[in-house]
Structure 1
Amino acid sequence: FSDHLGTYERVSNNLETDKETILALEDTNQSLLSTRINEVMKVINNRCTVRVYENKPLSQNEINTIIHGAIRAPTAGNMMFYSILEVKDQKKKEKLVKTCDNQPHIAKAPLVLIFLADMQRWYDYYVVSSVPEICVKHKIAYRTPDESDLLLACCDALIAAQNAVITAESLGIGSCYIGDIIENIEIHREMFNLPKWVFPITMLCFGYPKQNLSKRILKPRFPKKFIHFTGSYQRFNAKDFVEMFHHYEKEIYVKNAENLGQDYYLRKTGSEFSQEMSRSVKIAIQDWIKKD
């Protein structure tokens, strides 16, 4: 079995801290564990977030390849309910540092892409195609985008974003998701001229890693049994959670936290940036479904 893991260099270097990966590999189809490990799985297995970039621009060919990878992602009904906005203006990048929870690497990233949930393009096309008129003529209700359309468009945009990540990784280009782009919706709408039925669901920073990725330790994931269910959803008890989080325990917690759960809540779920996300998304949804 160890021979089959030879190509997973960083995984094999961290067997003690990543036993779950080994167990997952044991369950994988035997063809994947052949002498020649699937190259795509190598990229997926070794991917990690990169926030420090070489002072080296990406070539236009590399950017085009990343965009192409995103565009080839699966999409609902082949309708592509998303758009990709490239941020080149350095002043806008620097502003995004502040509006996205003070993350300085945004300004230093050679490539910044915002993935937009986009129903506007289709509804503009429907107007050009006289869809409202044909609906009136045949007494068919003309519906405008609602919450379900927003969720569907977000799915399309996020799938495309992950395709971009894997494409970039295959080129040796690192990436970092910025979920904070959903904050400060009023500012971001003005910055990028976003119409009513367009929502910035995620942002990605790309660049060549300054640190040798082969020396980075992959962060742990929950054991498979806590993620993969068969037949119905499962909930867990206190003992289960001890096992689930055994890789996550740490010695120092944020102020006022007495355990890991409290630490995560105070730093993440109950934090100021999470509250701003909630405020911003509520406004975006209200505007999205509002009838003109």
Structure 2
Amino acid sequence: MNEVIERILNHRSIRSFEDKPLTEEQILTIIECAQAASTSSFMQAYTIIGVTEPKKKAALAQIAGSQEYVEKNGHLLVFCADLHRHDVISDMENKDLSEPLESTEKFMVACIDAALAAQNAALAAESMGLGICYIGGIRNNLPAVADILNIPSRVIPLFGLTVGYPSNITDKKPRLPLSNVYHLNGYQQKTDVFSDELKEYNDSISRYYLERTDGTRSDTWTGQMAGMLEKKSRMYMKGFVEQQGLNKR
């Protein structure tokens, strides 16, 4: 097993960081690694916003559910799906590109491009001995995030990425069984097999939480998912995305 694979398999989210900022060299290297990611048709349809102003970080932390590590970290990055620069291209090349830019396909391209870039950034950071945590909680209130970060039309902030020096490293969280995720030559629709595998997975997740919390928590994965999904959350999203001029066709 090589060092890259070991690094990937050793990943865990870090939610407690030392009070130590990243150097400019570290930040720029992480961004360059993000830019090296694959991009659909060379569109490069994303933007990364670094947030260093304490008031802005505090505001974003509040939006994300009062998560302290969004405010206190080595550096905070916000990854955005971005077709705004392609609007600029429309003017530069004197072409009406509004229909394709408003399509679901191009919205998906922008989201995928941003996710690929972010994972490159995360791997680069971890290879430096840093820890990371993805922050989906900024989507709790994207209009407010857009105001804080001066977001233009055809841009959607998707998630944050906190990076820094870990002050506490938790145990690695077990993932789904491989056979539940990897299907050969087509989707294997065997609900009874899925259910049996998920029951076994529930046991491993319960053990993980029991050990991590000294017996105060014993959630199952399916119970977590059912509890999360039954709550109506971020139901404003479709309207906000369309308001930004994306995913309208």
The alignment's TM-score, normalised by the length of structure 1, stands at: 0.75
CA RMSD for the aligned pairs?
2.3
SS at match of 1:166: helix
Aligned equivalents of 1:204 and 1:263: distance in 2? 23
TM superposition shift of 1:198: 0.3
TM superposition shift of 1:61: 0.6
Aligned to 2:28: 64
Aligned to 1:26: none
- Counterpart of 1:195, as a letter, is P
Aligned to 2:206: 249
TM superposition shift of 1:48: 1.1
Aligned to 2:213: none
CA contact (8 A) 2:37 2:120 kept: yes
**Percentage of pairs with the same residue:** 29
1:219 equivalent to 2:180? Answer no
CA contact (8 A) 1:109 1:205 kept: yes
Residue ranges of structure 1 left out of the alignment (5+ in a row): 1-36, 136-140
Ranges of 4+ aligned residues in structure 1 off by more than 4 Å: 250-254
- Counterpart of 1:93, as a letter, is K
Aligned to 2:161: 204
1:168 to 111, 121, 125: 125
- The CA deviation string for residues 93-146 of structure 1, in whole angstroms up to 9 with x for no partner, is 1011111122111110120000000011112112122113xx9xxxxx964422
Aligned to 1:25: none
- Counterpart of 1:150, as a letter, is F
Aligned to 1:44: 8
Aligned equivalents of 2:106 and 2:167: distance in 1? 40
The alignment's TM-score, normalised by the length of structure 2, stands at: 0.87
CA contact (8 A) 1:147 1:285 kept: no
CA contact (8 A) 2:100 2:106 kept: no
1:192 equivalent to 2:149? Answer yes
1:80 to 38, 44, 69: 44
Aligned to 2:91: 127
- The CA deviation string for residues 150-188 of structure 1, in whole angstroms up to 9 with x for no partner, is 111000001100100000000001000001122212111
CA contact (8 A) 1:67 1:164 kept: yes
Aligned equivalents of 1:175 and 1:144: distance in 2? 32
- Counterpart of 2:25, as a letter, is N
CA contact (8 A) 2:198 2:222 kept: no
Aligned to 1:112: 76
CA contact (8 A) 1:86 1:111 kept: yes
- The CA deviation string for residues 214-243 of structure 1, in whole angstroms up to 9 with x for no partner, is xx4211111111110011213422323212
- Counterpart of 1:79, as a letter, is M
Are the structure 2 counterparts of residues 260 and 114 from structure 1 closer, same or farther at C-alpha, using a change threshold of 3 Å?
A: closer
Aligned to 2:184: 230
2:108 to 147, 151, 157: 151
TM superposition shift of 1:88: 1.1
- Counterpart of 1:261, as a letter, is T
CA contact (8 A) 1:222 1:245 kept: no
SS at match of 1:218: coil
Aligned to 1:264: 225
Q: Give aligned pairs, total.
A: 237
CA contact (8 A) 1:50 1:176 kept: yes
Aligned equivalents of 2:221 and 2:61: distance in 1? 28
